[in-house]
Structure 1
């Protein structure tokens, strides 16, 4: 049966698993999760796949973010698809351009690119049993048997709600919308925020600008980034012996799981060790005691997302760098005015103010059974069953959905496990001749209630901080147990947690 015939059958509402045809599958997003979904679905024999990508290239967050100093805080050997390990990574921790090139190459090598409809956002999804009706930004309407949201987590920039933001006369842009036409060399630059992105930018450009003004609301803990450049000889060795690439992958996985990830979910020894490492990093790299005091957080390391950066402290200690801790009262044409009445004159303003972490597939309008609207149901506190499914939304799956970032693991590894889980569900539908699968409300409620209790014992809740992990519910929206437990659950689906609809 051809793809067009399959879509025609879907239009006639014949359940794919009962008619012996390929399911028509829509994937939203062509980032790393979307790429993983296409490759693994095709390997499992599901080939009628259409990917909708709102921009003109694959890559997701690594396409969107191109700011100076951009790098990954997960080792390259692990921040890779297991089905496409790369021997010749230039660095232990890859820079953004290298990761983007890798994702584009994988998409091309595995036939993903030609499955993508570029420059086409999905605006509406409506369930009409047993199919999903999809509407795109150009008004086109399609019908699919299955929808997989692979939109990622941090893709909608947050802009600060500060009086006068639009009145600033210099260059002004969000870090995820970096303006490469703006020349910052020799300029007076201001940056709002001190998270990971801001630290990388400050470390990368402070020695090039005339003045760097860093507006800090809350200090963050930083750990040094143990960066190294891989030698050509070492990369050739791994290329010649692929099993060494797999060994390196598993080594870095175990290293992260038993150190940083362990500290977040109750390993007190590891938590104390990370605290000491961060304190030493600060002391060794910020000689001025007054500046050091203003850079010292009043909460435990790992309470927020720990920042791995070796360049920020030396940069903020430079004579042309200024750390401003007074609250911003307004932005004016010439700069930023703070609560002490001072106007900090600027030529350029960078907004390192993060993303809407509660969006996921939103702002697409998603309507499930009985007209239930997903945005209304989530109401600023998105939840899912095992991060991939929702009651009342049959045949709708998410990769990196709510609580999908697990234990600060490699998001690529998590995505691969989640796609494998979804493939298992499709296989079960085919074997049992099912029209649809949807999470049971009781399973969803029990799972999220257990997470809500368990999160209280993690460093994210007990460490004394607030962070973007907290949503409207007032608790961190994160997986609270040991990360390997989650990966194990992805390998062993419990079909009793789902309505299996004939």
Structure 2
């Protein structure tokens, strides 16, 4: 074995949070032979695409950041979207990742030959890579509702992730479809700005209304002046977020207390009729808990109307519900979420045996320890199936997954392996353990949500974040099929 490290050719698909994370960690490890393919014209991923009024993170700023590139200057406890977008752009530039991004380059195919992956882009060009990393995100592909007449509306109509900033909103009649996390944030911003805001709710959500105060200039100075204090607050917020794990993962006192805390929030709604409309019929936290600083305040305003009757169709002048009532509006906003189960799709991917990723996942997406897929050597996924995305920092998840990926790439660099992929048996055993743990989790208590995938299967990690980090920090040699250099 030579003492000279090999130089891996790595393709990273997507220049959002995960892609920037992995690029920065590769550079820190002395690996600069990677290309990030980004179909848009700049970095940011979901924080680039989502610019709707009121957008903010629902995870505290001090923890929603890279541990290796902390920002001492966050302005609020939970940062507004534009600030997060600027942070990721700054990290990409400061670390040198930005120079390795191919913008306006959409990947359409990925095919494995005997010795490499061939990446094909929309312009027909190809390039060979030793490793392929999917960093395409989970809240990326907007989901549009199947409502008759949607294309007949005469005014401005758009999805929340494709916000039309030229559309006038102040003083106008705005109809909003959807009351999930995005809808709640939009309601909190538009209430009082729109002349009338009509909110169409199909399913109510549990909401935790908490304040989102600004950080003082002195607080920012402390974080800049004392890096150890800045690191301490990062880990302090991590421990605080992780303290909610018992309520999510198993029945008991912690879940009962969390349920009581969340349900008592509804007491802020004074009108009993409105309160009843806003009361879900499922367990708190079964769906993603909506974190808002002003939802309950906004929904009770006189100029905000909550409609729970089903929508029959969209007409040129408004929304008609199944009771025959036409709700006139000037602007129509669709806060109807994303396809959280698309993963790499619509990119076509074929493994060395000719089997496509779509065929491998015909019964639902599966990934060993959320990161690798049997039959697809040297292929890694960020935010793969059953990642711990339930009210946790996706940045911390990405860092843990990146460490697992980097460990295998380092072994390739040293000439210890040529390819690696998990075995079918190991993946099946992993999912037996997952399936055994899921029934105790709050996500399996009976509700529909984007946590639930094909066949009603819950696609969330059923153990603690600490367990997740430990799992990805350990390599079980017998679980993998490797070829030597």
- Aligned partner of 1:264 in structure 2 is 248
Shift of 1:430: 3.3
d(CA) in 1 for partners of 2:139, 2:321: 29
Candidates 336, 339, 347, aligned match of 2:330 = 347
Q: Deviations over 1:227-260 (max 9, x none)?
A: 111111111011111001111011111111112x
d(CA) in 1 for partners of 2:196, 2:122: 42
Aligned partners of 2:66 and 2:395 also within 8 Å:
yes
- Aligned partner of 2:474 in structure 1 is 492
* 1:196 and 2:181 aligned: yes
Aligned partners of 2:6 and 2:413 also within 8 Å:
no
d(CA) in 2 for partners of 1:272, 1:20: 54
d(CA) in 1 for partners of 2:453, 2:390: 17
After TM superposition, list the pairs within 5 Å mapping 1:158-169 onto structure 2: 158-169=143-154
d(CA) in 2 for partners of 1:80, 1:267: 31
* 1:290 and 2:273 aligned: yes
Structure 1 residue runs of 5 or longer lacking an equivalent are: 1-15
* 1:319 and 2:294 aligned: no
Structure 2 residue runs of 5 or longer lacking an equivalent are: none
Q: Secondary structure at the match of 1:371?
A: coil
After TM superposition, list the pairs within 5 Å mapping 1:137-148 onto structure 2: 137-148=122-133
- State TM-score, norm by structure 1: 0.94
d(CA) in 1 for partners of 2:86, 2:465: 28
Shift of 1:403: 1.5
d(CA) in 2 for partners of 1:414, 1:17: 34
Q: Deviations over 1:336-381 (max 9, x none)?
A: 1111111111111100111111111110001112111112322372
* 1:249 and 2:231 aligned: no
- Aligned partner of 1:385 in structure 2 is 368
- Aligned partner of 1:10 in structure 2 is none
After TM superposition, list the pairs within 5 Å mapping 1:35-184 onto structure 2: 35-184=20-169
Shift of 1:272: 2.1
Aligned partners of 1:452 and 1:475 also within 8 Å:
no
CA distance change for structure 1 residues 54 and 405 in 2, over 3 Å: closer, same or farther?
farther
d(CA) in 1 for partners of 2:306, 2:228: 48
d(CA) in 1 for partners of 2:258, 2:2: 51
* 1:456 and 2:439 aligned: yes
CA RMSD of aligned residues (A): 1.6
* 1:237 and 2:222 aligned: yes
- Aligned partner of 1:482 in structure 2 is 464
d(CA) in 2 for partners of 1:357, 1:407: 12
- Aligned partner of 1:11 in structure 2 is none
- State TM-score, norm by structure 2: 0.97
d(CA) in 1 for partners of 2:364, 2:246: 26
Aligned partners of 2:6 and 2:412 also within 8 Å:
no
d(CA) in 1 for partners of 2:273, 2:416: 69
Aligned partners of 2:209 and 2:296 also within 8 Å:
no
Q: Secondary structure at the match of 1:278?
A: helix
d(CA) in 2 for partners of 1:250, 1:269: 25
Aligned partners of 2:364 and 2:454 also within 8 Å:
yes
Q: Secondary structure at the match of 1:322?
A: strand
Aligned partners of 2:175 and 2:329 also within 8 Å:
yes
Shift of 1:47: 1.3
Q: Secondary structure at the match of 1:186?
A: coil
CA distance change for structure 1 residues 252 and 17 in 2, over 3 Å: closer, same or farther?
farther
Q: Secondary structure at the match of 2:455?
A: coil
Aligned partners of 1:262 and 1:270 also within 8 Å:
yes
Q: Secondary structure at the match of 1:379?
A: coil
Aligned partners of 1:407 and 1:482 also within 8 Å:
no
Aligned partners of 2:173 and 2:331 also within 8 Å:
yes
Aligned partners of 1:52 and 1:117 also within 8 Å:
yes
Aligned partners of 2:6 and 2:414 also within 8 Å:
no
Aligned partners of 2:73 and 2:220 also within 8 Å:
yes
